[in-house]
Amino acid sequence: MSVVAVGKDFWQLTARSTVGERCKSIFNQELLSDVKFVVRDSQGGSRSKKIPAHKFVLAISSPVFFAMFYGKLAEKKDSVEISDCEYESLLELFRFIYSGEANLNPDNVMQVMYLAKKYMLPSLADQCSAFLQKNLDASNVFHVLPDAQKYEEKELIDYCWNVIERETEEAVKSDGFVTMERSVLEEIVEKDSLNIKEVELLKAIDRWAGKECEKQGLVAEGSVKRRILGERIVKGIRFPLMKQEEFADAVLDCDILTKRESYDLVKYFSSVLKVPVGFSSAKRAGHFEIMCRFSSLDKGWAYSGITNRIAVRVDKDVLLHTVRLFGSDNSTYSVKLRAKDFNDSIVATKEGQFLCKHMQSNLLGGYQGYEVVLEPPVVLKAKIGYYIFDAKIDGPPSLYGQGGQSQIEHSGVSFYFNSYSCWGYHTSVQEGQFSEFVFTLA
């Protein structure tokens, strides 16, 4: 088809009533194109592909492209080679510029975020960060965290650390754990809020050290692993928290302690020494408890702009880290969550898009849902009054809970619930949303 024919179709035959629609229609098209980007093929090898583009559209979207095409040192050639990314990622950057949309997936999102930072498109970087948060779990958190730190995405960094602290034992078993930088391991071992037994943390650290020895072509013996780990990591392991048999079985075999350290710890476990030498005995406070409100599930909970609300009171101070909500298979929900205290003051807000995943519950078994992480966690003060949790949810009909009780005791804490359904709110004590609350004792 000739350019004239395409032009006729573009201006006369197709309804494109807005500038946005017209820009979207020339994305990745030769029509009016005045520059081509040459980039390596996403399939690998030495092949390259070309993306036709329009200097003006790029320049009004990105100050970097403006300088490239209209600055003092403007690019005069009609072909620009890009060597630091692949075809699919650059194509999604351009798709966003032309349409405000980007087709993100686990394979391209990191590179698209890099390009969003490079070409100064903060709204696209925010989309990438939101996508990563929705798809983040213990299996991939150590792949995401380094890039989040490199691109200085604070919200994503905080979310990564929340996953690490809440699901430590699963996270340290992932492939990404043994590939991370030592600086990250130093941060991990010094955290008070890890949710893992100390002996399991030691085993994970020993695996990391063994992998580093392998990468450097070194024999994985005790003194070598000690040098690779460094004193900050070794001293951060809380050996006094282990049981004596755990220490004898795991620590002595990995051989990262000096003879004097091992000798003193054995004396400590034998009650000869009352105070451990050189290692902290402070308990890590990261054992998360999950309180479930319901005893059974049903389908068909609809959303029509009505706010889901529940009131919660506790008899002991707790830190509320996460609120879990019901969803449905492969669905995304738009959520605005707000928490108020007994003085009607807002103590937490969280807003975003949440992709459903498989949740495991002791009472409900497996179900489709999503987590709204509260950062920082909300302090629920004991015996003072009810805290109100509002969730305005938009999305397809979801699962919902049934058989809720007004009082539930979990791990020594009594939770009391009150309904607001009679005031026009969705959800009640007996049924509805707010499936589980993830907390620690304050």
Q: Which fold has domain 141-269?
A: 1.25.40
Q: Residues 184, 229: contact at Cβ < 8 Å?
A: no
Q: What is the DSSP string of 324-337?
A: EEE--TT-EEEEEE
Determine the pLDDT at residue 184.
Answer: 95
Does the N-terminal peptide bond of residue 63 adopt cis geometry, omega within 30 degrees of 0? no
- Bridge partners for 431 per DSSP: 402
Greatest extent of the chain over all pairs of C-alpha atoms, in Å: 93
Determine the pLDDT at residue 2.
Answer: 47
Strand (E) or helix (H) holding 122 = helix 122-134
Determine the pLDDT at residue 360.
Answer: 81
Determine the pLDDT at residue 422.
Answer: 53
> What is the C-alpha to C-alpha distance for residues 346 and 339, in angstroms, rounded to an integer?
6
Q: Where are the domains of the chain?
A: 3-108, 141-269, 289-441
Determine the pLDDT at residue 266.
Answer: 92
For residue 154, what are the contacts with CB-CB under 8 A and spacing of at least 6? none
Residues for the chain: how many in total?
442
**Placement of tokens 């009150």 in the chain:** 418
Same topology, domains 141-269 and 289-441? Answer is: no
Determine the pLDDT at residue 11.
Answer: 53
Determine the pLDDT at residue 253.
Answer: 87
Among 251, 301, 289, CA closest to 402: 301
Name the CATH superfamily for 289-441: PHR domain (2.60.120.820)
CATH class of 3-108: alpha beta
Determine the pLDDT at residue 5.
Answer: 47
Q: Could you report the average pLDDT of every consecutive run of 10 residues in the chain (442 residues)?
A: 50 65 90 93 81 95 95 86 93 96 93 96 93 89 93 89 89 94 95 90 96 95 95 95 92 92 92 85 79 95 88 95 93 94 92 86 89 89 92 95 96 91 73 94 80
Q: Residues 59, 82: contact at Cβ < 8 Å?
A: no
pTM beyond 0.75, yes or no? no
Q: What is the DSSP string of 225-292?
A: HHHHH-HHHHHHS-GGGS-HHHIIIIIHHHT-S-HHHHHHHHHHHTTS-SS-SSS--PPP----EEEE
> What is the C-alpha to C-alpha distance for residues 404 and 417, in angstroms, rounded to an integer?
9
Q: What is the CA radius of gyration of the chain?
A: 27
